[in-house]
Amino acid sequence: MESTAVFEQLLYEERGDVAYLTLNRPEARNALSMRLSDELVAAIERVRVTSELKFAVIRGAGDNFCVGDDLKEMAEGAWGDANEYLHRVRHYQNMAYALEELDKITIAAVDGFAVGGGLEVTMACDFVIATERARWGMPEVDTGITPGWGGTTRLPRLIGRRLAKEINMIGALHSARRAVELTLWNRVVPNNGLDAEVDKLLDVLRTKNQQTLRQLKLIINKGVEADLYTAQGFEALSAGFSAAANGWWRIPDHDQGAGLEGFVNKDGTWTTRRPAAIDFWAD
């Protein structure tokens, strides 16, 4: 089944279990205007609430992925005063969180430039495949601004603080192969092989247990931000959930829903548990 949604600066298409989100301002190298950013937020939300979708592919129209925020729009004052500017940045941060936390597997398909906010989009995706001619970097320093939604936060978590300082403070543009060497991106393919490689990855991912993929994404994303012992707690709970999903869900000293059933019917366990607890140490 195919489905489309109409946006002004973004192309949205659902083909089977995949949503394709195409940044569609090729004349501006797919710079993230305020409208395009708002439409990307809306498209991500559409993907989030649709259970039939398992994957999302983000790409750019024309010869580029995305050159980041629309600096012309910013320079003209469209972002407003400092307080409004802060709110716009927080809006973009929420967009990156929403993308990162989708319970779908996300793939950034990168051709041409992926700089500034464009690079930040890739950092919120699960997989990044790029062409040989792709270039990336964080050039904000040379316009006197700083990144707002990943360049100084996700980037050092992915490649370390020393390299993140190099990328941000110098502002150079780097090759796709260096992104793979730094583990920032996954794969480099020939310039004419991007769509085919995305399809190959989708074919492999479709063979997996989709619930297991969702759990792996969640525990890796959350665990990397936590201390080891907390992260291993997530890991253990995920293992138990996997056991339940595989059919080994009965635990001898669990009441198998009798607690809720007792509450609804006001009998059974409810008539023993609540009287014992409701006034205990309540003075």
Q: Which residues are catalytically annotated?
A: 120, 140
Write out the DSSP string of 211-272. HHHHHHHHHHHHHTTS-HHHHHHHHHHHHHHHHHHTT----TTS-TTHHHHHHHHT-TTHHH
Q: Tokens at residue 141, please?
A: 């320093």
Distances (CA, A) of 156 to 123, 144, 150: 11, 20, 9
Whether residue 110 contacts residue 130, with contact meaning beta carbons closer than 8 Å, is answered with yes
- Look up residue 141 and give its DSSP letter: G
E strands of 91-206, at which residues? 105-110, 113-115, 127-131, 135-137, 174-175, 187-189
E strands of the chain, at which residues? 2-6, 10-15, 18-23, 55-60, 105-110, 113-115, 127-131, 135-137, 174-175, 187-189
Work out the angle at residue 92's Cα, subtended by the Cα atoms of residues 87 and 95, and round it to the nearest 5 degrees: 130
Question: Coil, strand, or helix at residue 194?
Answer: helix
